C-alpha cells in the first residue's frame, strides 16, 4: 500500500511531456500578455510613465509570483523534454526570467520614486 501511494505521488509530481509543453505554452502567453500591458501603459513610447507605473503596482505584484510559479512548474520537468522541444521552448523560460527581472526593476523604481516624492 505504501509503495502504491509513493508511485501515485510520483506520477502526480512528474508531469507528462505534453503537460510540460502545455505549461510552457501558457508561460509564453503570460509573458506576451505582460509585455503588451507594459508597452501599452508603463513603457508606452519607450520611457517609463511614472503615473502608469504607480497605478500598475498591484498588477506587478500579481505577475511576479505567477511567473515564478510557472517557471517552477516547468523547471523540474524541462530536462526530460526531447532536445527538439527544449530548443523550441528554451527561449520561453529565458523570456519569463527576463520579464521577472524587468517587473522587479520597475517595482524598485517606483519605490524609489515614491520615497523621493515623499521627502
Domains and CATH numbers, the chain: 14-118 (1.20.58)
Provide the CB-side half-sphere exposure for 6 (13 A, CA): 3
**Average pLDDT of 33-37?**
95
CB neighbour burial string for 39-67, b if at least 16 within 10 angstroms, e if fewer: eeebbeeeebeeeebeebeeebeebbeeb
Q: How far is CA 62 from the centre of its chain?
A: 10
For residue 119, is pLDDT > 70?
no
Q: What distances in angstroms separate CA 82 from CA 21, 22, 88, 92, 100, one per listed residue?
A: 10, 14, 10, 15, 26
Assess whether pLDDT exceeds 80 at residue 75: yes
At 51, the pLDDT band (50, 70, 90 cuts) reads very high
- What pTM was estimated for this model as a whole? 0.81
Q: What is the pLDDT of residue 117?
A: 53
- pLDDT given for residue 78 in this prediction: 87
Tell me what pLDDT residue 16 has. Answer: 85
What pLDDT was estimated at residue 94?
Answer: 94
Q: For residue 96, how many C-alpha atoms fall within 13 Å in the half-sphere facing its CB?
A: 26
Amino acid at each position: 500500500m505504501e509503495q502504491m501511494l509513493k508511485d501515485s505521488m510520483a506520477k502526480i509530481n512528474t508531469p507528462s511531456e505534453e503537460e510540460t509543453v502545455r505549461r510552457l505554452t501558457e508561460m509564453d502567453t503570460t509573458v506576451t500578455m505582460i509585455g503588451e500591458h507594459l508597452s501599452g501603459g508603463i513603457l508606452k513610447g519607450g520611457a517609463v510613465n511614472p503615473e502608469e507605473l504607480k497605478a500598475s503596482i498591484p498588477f506587478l505584484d500579481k505577475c511576479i509570483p505567477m511567473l515564478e510559479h510557472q517557471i517552477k512548474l516547468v523547471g523540474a520537468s524541462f530536462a526530460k523534454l526531447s532536445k527538439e522541444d527544449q530548443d523550441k521552448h528554451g527561449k520561453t523560460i529565458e523570456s519569463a526570467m527576463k520579464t521577472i527581472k524587468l517587473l522587479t526593476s520597475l517595482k524598485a523604481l517606483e519605490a524609489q520614486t515614491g520615497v523621493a516624492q515623499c521627502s
